[in-house]
Structure 1
Amino acid sequence: MTGRRDYYHDPNAPAANSLVPGAAAIVTDEHGRILLQRRTDSGNWSLPGGAMDIGETLQQCAVREVKEETGLDIEITGLLGIYTDPAHVIAYPDGEVRQEFTITYLARVIGGVITVSDESTDVRFIDPAEFDHIPIHDTVRLRLHHRAEHRDTPYLG
């Protein structure tokens, strides 16, 4: 399956032609593990999230996307940061080249059952000690690093 391609600080990246607000969530369990999904389009482990729909808030977007992609119901507990690096673009097969624009929230599970969606091959809570041993895109690693720092204020970048 040919899907999206992420470029991060790559001088050969195509120029962005789109900007779409999106939301993602770092969902932790009682053991400090973080909910990740293995993407079908890249094979990388990633945070659940996606593009905002008209008529919803970014928080509602994060809750909806986590439910669609993982089967879990979540409650937003905080804001990790705002990620809008113009050096991170995502090229899609239809010619869209989207500049990163993602608000990443902190959240906890309040219901549901883990379910794999058509966007992933696996969904599970992963111990942060495993992160160095699994494929994770650099932009997701940055967010996981910010989470591990237990910052007092959200990342603004």
Structure 2
Amino acid sequence: MATPDFITALRADAGQQLLWLPGITAIVFDDEGRVLLGRRSDNGKWSVIGGIPDPGEQPAECAVREVFEETAVRCVVERVVLVQALKPVTYPNGDTCQFMDITLRCRAVGGEARVNDDESLEVAWFDVDALPRLHEFSAYRIKQALSDEPTWFEPAVVE
């Protein structure tokens, strides 16, 4: 996965210390109710589409851009599915970060699903009852995007 230039610049000053970063996940459905997935080039596993917004970029703009960059599919954002602070992650090079994920439900409006950059090995549409093996992160977001529930978030602990 390509590291955005602004994060590379931050790392020059911050070193490997924890960075708090925004993350956008796009759950894209087509008119047949299938979900769009990519098989990641970094680990070979199927996953939902996502990325990091550029400075000043709105979450919906990021979702539309990332989906097109990775899959050549054009989409529109329909609603916010969930907002969640994820657990910190340490990458093999020692860099640490923690993402605030905003997951958006999207609808495909054009394009043919295909590998469109070096972040995916494969791109495909899947029936929601015939998904490949997915990490819980992806499976949960698809489940939430299919529900009619309001936006999910971790409730605050009141003392």
Q: One fold, TM greater than 0.5?
A: yes
Could you say what the CA RMSD is over the residues aligned between the two structures, in angstroms? 1.6
In the alignment, the residues of structure 2 paired with residue 107 and residue 118 of structure 1 have an alpha-carbon distance, to the nearest angstrom, of 22
Q: Give yes or no for the alignment of 1:156 onto 2:153.
A: yes
Output one character per residue of 1:29-85: Cα deviation in whole Å (capped at 9) or x when no partner. Answer: 111110011111122211111011013111111111111111111111111111213
Which residue in the other structure is 1:76 paired with? 77
Report deviation, 1:142.
1.4
Report if aligned partners of 1:36, 1:123 keep a CA contact under 8 Å in 2. yes
Which residue in the other structure is 2:107 paired with? 108
After the TM superposition, which residues 2-81 of structure 1 pair with which residues of structure 2 at under 5 Å, given as runs? Answer: 17-81=18-82
* Structure 1 residues 76 and 67, CA gap change in structure 2 (3 angstroms): same
Q: What percent identity do the matched residue pairs reach?
A: 34
TM-score normalised by length of structure 1 = 0.80
Q: Which runs of 5+ in 2 are unaligned?
A: 1-16, 155-159
Q: Runs in 1 of length 4+ with deviation above 6 angstroms?
A: none
Which residue in the other structure is 1:144 paired with? 142
- In the comparison of the two structures, how many residue pairs are matched? 137
Which residue in the other structure is 2:128 paired with? 128
In the alignment, the residues of structure 1 paired with residue 75 and residue 118 of structure 2 have an alpha-carbon distance, to the nearest angstrom, of 20
TM-score normalised by length of structure 2 = 0.79
Report if aligned partners of 1:26, 1:105 keep a CA contact under 8 Å in 2. yes
Residue 42 of structure 1 aligns to a residue in which SS?
coil
Which residue in the other structure is 2:93 paired with? 94
Letter of the 1:104 partner, please give it: T
Largest Rg, 1 or 2: 2
